[in-house]
Structure 1
Amino acid sequence: MSELLSVRDLKVHFPVKGGLLMRQTKTVKAVDGVSLDIGVGETLGLVGESGCGKSTLGKAIVRLADSNAGSIVFEGRDITQASRRSIRPLRQDLQMIFQDPVESLNARHSISEILEEPLIVHGRGNRAERKKKVAELLDRVGLPAASAERYPFEFSGGQRQRVGIARAIALEPKLIIADEPVSALDVSVQSQVMNLLLDLQKDMGLSYLFVAHDLAVVKHISDRVAVMYLGKIVELADAEAIYQRPKHAYTKALISAIPHPDPSRKIERVLLEGDVPSPIDPPKGSAFGKRINHPRYAETEGMDLSLVEIEPRHWVAADPCCLEAEDWERVRRV
C-alpha cells in the first residue's frame, strides 16, 4: 500500500490571553506531537474522548487550523506552511466531512447551489455540465434528483449528512477527513451512512481519516485504529489487534464500554477514575497515569513516553502506568 499522507510530530497549540493588555498567559496544547500515516485506499480510525484533540488534528491536516510544529506531507509534498493560494488546488484531493450538517451547510443556498459551488470554484465544466454533475452526486448518495431545488432545513439529519458527503466527493478527492460524521445521527441512520462511505471508498478508491469518540463506530470501517488521549496518540495498530489484543489501559477502557448484543453475556467494565487533565496545564508525566492516580506516575515525569512497536504493526506508548507488567518489560527491551 503506497503512502498518501504522512504526519510527523504535529503540534497545534492555541494561546490563552488575559489581563488588561490581553497578553498570552497560557497555552492550550490541543495536539501535542502526533505522527501517523494513511495509505492509498486505507481507512484510519481516530478515536478518543471529547476534547482529546481529534477534530483539531483533522482540521490541521486539511489546513483549516494552523500548526505550530511538525510536518504534514500529502502525496510527497510538504503542505505544513503552504499559503492559502498554493493550498487551494489541493482542495480537490483533500476534503472534509463535518460533524454537524446543520452548521456546515449554508441554509440560504439550495442543495444544487451547495453542490455546484466547489465545481465553480475549481472551474469544472459549464452550467449544463455542472447541473448534470449535481444530479449524479445526488444519485450517488441515495437522494432523489428533485432534492436539488430544496434547502437544507427540508431534510432530516441523515439526508443532510448525505448532502455533506456529496459535496465532499464532488471534486473526486483522494483523502477525506470524516470528523465524527455519524455522531449527530440516530443509531438507525448511522449504519446507512457508514455503508454509503464504504461503497464510495470501494467505487472511488478513497482514503479516510475517520474520527469518532466511540470505538464501536469505527470497528467495521477501519483498517487501522489510532487511540488519542490528551493531544497524543497512545496506541496505533491494525483494527483487529486493537479489538482483540489492546495494550494501553485507556484503549482497554474504551473497548470495555462497547455494548454487546447479547444482554446475558457478562462483560467486565473498566470504570475510569478521576477527571481528564486539562490541555492548558497537562501533566509532566503520564497523562492517563495522573488521571487514575497510578503509583508509578512520579517516575514517568520527564520520561520519554513515545510510541514503541511492541508487536509487528502494533505501536503503544512506553508508559509503565498504562501497560501490564509483561508488556512493560517487552517495551523496555525494544
Structure 2
Amino acid sequence: MSPILSVNDLKVHFPVTGGLLMRQIGSVRAVDGVSFDIAPGETLGLVGESGCGKSTLGKAIVRLNDIKSGSVQFDGQDITHLSRSAMRPLRRELQMVFQDPVESLNARHSVREIIEEPLIIHGRGSSAQRRKRVDELLERVGLQSSAAERYPFEFSGGQRQRIGIARALALNPKLIVCDEPVSALDVSVQSQVLNLLLELQKDLGLSYLFIAHNLAVVKHVSDRVAVMYLGKIVELADAEAIYHRPKHAYTKALLSAIPEPDPTLEKKRILLEGDVPSPIDPPKGSAFGHRIKHPRYEETIGADLSLREIEPGHWVAADPCCLEPADWAKLSVATA
C-alpha cells in the first residue's frame, strides 16, 4: 500500500539577519533533514521537547512554512513547491488542527461561519446544504447543533478544540496534522478529545500526524512514534517498541518523565544535563552527545548519524553517544 504522506530529507531553515543593512548572517535550522512515511489510516506520533522543530515540520507539510530542500509527497503527488493556487484543491484533503483553539478560531465569527468558511471557499453545496453540513459536523464532534449560532469565547477550551476539529473535517480530508491538539487543555478534557480523534479515525479512515511533547499522550493514539531532537528524528518505531524497548538515550529520558500511576512502584527519573544546543549554531557532531558531554562526542564530528534499522521496523540514529554499547555493536555489525 502506497503511503498517504511521504517526507524525504525535509529541511526548513529561517534566515537570521543582522548588521546595519540587515543582511543574512545565519540560519535557524528548525528542521534539518527529516524523513518518514504515513500509511493510509495510520497515526504517526511526533514527540520532542519544545523548540525541537515539531510544529515547524507540521506547518511545512501543509505548506504554511517555506521548505528549503527535500520533498513532501501527499497521496502520490509532490507538493513541495506548489503555488498557493495549485495547493488549493489539495487542501480539501490535507488539513490541520492547531494547538491553541483560542488563537486559531476567529472570535468575531460565529461557530457556523467558522466551520462553513472552507465549504464556501471550495464551492461546496448550496447555502441550505452547507447549513446542514455544519449542524452534522457539530453533532459529529459531540456538540449540539445549536452551538452554531454562538461565538468561540462562549465555549470551554475542550469545546473550542472540538470546533477546530469540526472545521478540519468539513471538506472530508484524508490526512490531518494535529499540532499538540490537547496540550492547552485540562487533563480531564484531554482524554475526551483523544477518544474523539480515535473514533473519527475509525469511522472516516483518517490518517494523522499527531504532534506532542508528552509521550504519555502519544501512547494512546499512535501506531508508530518518531522522536525528534534539534530538528532531526533520532528514533522511529512502532509505539510498542518505543515504550518497551527504547534505544536512544533521549527517548529513554522522555519516557522516564511519564508519571507512574502506581504509587508503590519506584521509577528512576533520567535528568538531562546541559541545555539544548542552538539551532542557529548546532554542534558539528552528535547534538545530544554534545549536550550531555559524552566522552565519545569527538568521534561523531563529521560522521554519518542518520537513522539505521536496528530491529525490523525500528530505526535509530547511528550515534555512539546515545546507544548502549550492546546496541551500538549490534548496529555496527548490521551496517558493516
TM-score, normalised by the number of residues in structure 1:
0.99
Deviation at 1:2, TM superposition (A): 3.5
Q: Distance in 2 between matches of 1:33 and 1:177?
A: 19
Q: Distance in 1 between matches of 2:58 and 2:243?
A: 23
Match of residue 259 from structure 1 = 259
1:92-241 → structure 2 map (5 Å cutoff) = 92-241=92-241
Match status 1:35 vs 2:35: yes
Deviation at 1:190, TM superposition (A): 0.1
Match of residue 7 from structure 1 = 7
| Consecutive unaligned residues in structure 2, runs of 5 or more | none
Q: Distance in 2 between matches of 1:242 and 1:277?
A: 24
Match of residue 249 from structure 2 = 249
One-letter code aligned to 2:21: L
1:10-29 → structure 2 map (5 Å cutoff) = 10-29=10-29
| Consecutive unaligned residues in structure 1, runs of 5 or more | none
Q: Distance in 1 between matches of 2:33 and 2:108?
A: 40
Q: Distance in 2 between matches of 1:213 and 1:67?
A: 23
Deviation at 1:62, TM superposition (A): 0.3
Q: Distance in 2 between matches of 1:74 and 1:219?
A: 25
Match of residue 297 from structure 1 = 297
CA RMSD of aligned residues (A): 0.5
Aligned-pair identity in percent equals: 77
Deviation at 1:330, TM superposition (A): 1.1
Deviation at 1:75, TM superposition (A): 1.0
One-letter code aligned to 1:177: V
One-letter code aligned to 2:238: D
Question: What does the per-residue CA deviation read over 1:13-62, in whole Å, with 9 as the maximum and x for residues that have no partner?
Answer: 00011111010011100000000100000000000000000000000000
Q: Distance in 1 between matches of 2:170 and 2:259?
A: 36
Q: Distance in 2 between matches of 1:304 and 1:84?
A: 36
> What secondary structure sits across from 1:192 in the alignment?
helix
> What secondary structure sits across from 1:148 in the alignment?
helix
Structure 1: 4+ residue segments shifted above 3 A = none
Q: Distance in 2 between matches of 1:288 and 1:69?
A: 24
Match of residue 314 from structure 1 = 314
Q: Distance in 2 between matches of 1:249 and 1:300?
A: 15
Question: What does the per-residue CA deviation read over 1:153-173, in whole Å, with 9 as the maximum and x for residues that have no partner?
Answer: 000000000000000011010
TM-score, normalised by the number of residues in structure 2:
0.99
Q: Distance in 1 between matches of 2:134 and 2:73?
A: 31
Q: Distance in 1 between matches of 2:256 and 2:72?
A: 33
Deviation at 1:73, TM superposition (A): 0.6
Q: Distance in 1 between matches of 2:110 and 2:220?
A: 34
